[in-house]
Amino acid sequence: MKQHTKNYLEYFGLGKEDFIYCEMNWILNRVAVRAVDLHHIKYKSQGGGDEVDNIIALSREYHIQAHEEQLDKKYLIDIHDEFINNTPY
């Protein structure tokens, strides 16, 4: 298991088989959509780390948008912070 995945699961007290919320769908719509990707908000190649504050759980649609830079890093940070403060777990 990759370190960022392990850190994320441990932070929220989750196991590999647990439902992981797409943070965007939860914060924007309060809809429980399964996340399929854990995304580094600041890419490791740009100095980002594997800490939970740099990892956001996203659906495939939102993950693609993040990589296509349709989602601003500041926006992702704000969504992630709100998710941590209003987590459904």
State the pLDDT confidence band at 74, using cuts at 50, 70 and 90.
very high
- At 9-41, the pLDDT tens digits run 999 999 989 999 999 999 999 999 999 999 999
Amino acid at 35: A
Q: What is the pLDDT of residue 4?
A: 97
Gap between the Cα atoms of 50 and 59, Å rounded? 19
Q: CB–CB of 65/28 below 8 Å? A: no
Tally of structural domains, the chain: 1
> E strands of 1-89, at which residues?
37-40, 55-58
Residue 48: which domain range? 3-85
Q: What's the whole-model pTM score?
A: 0.94
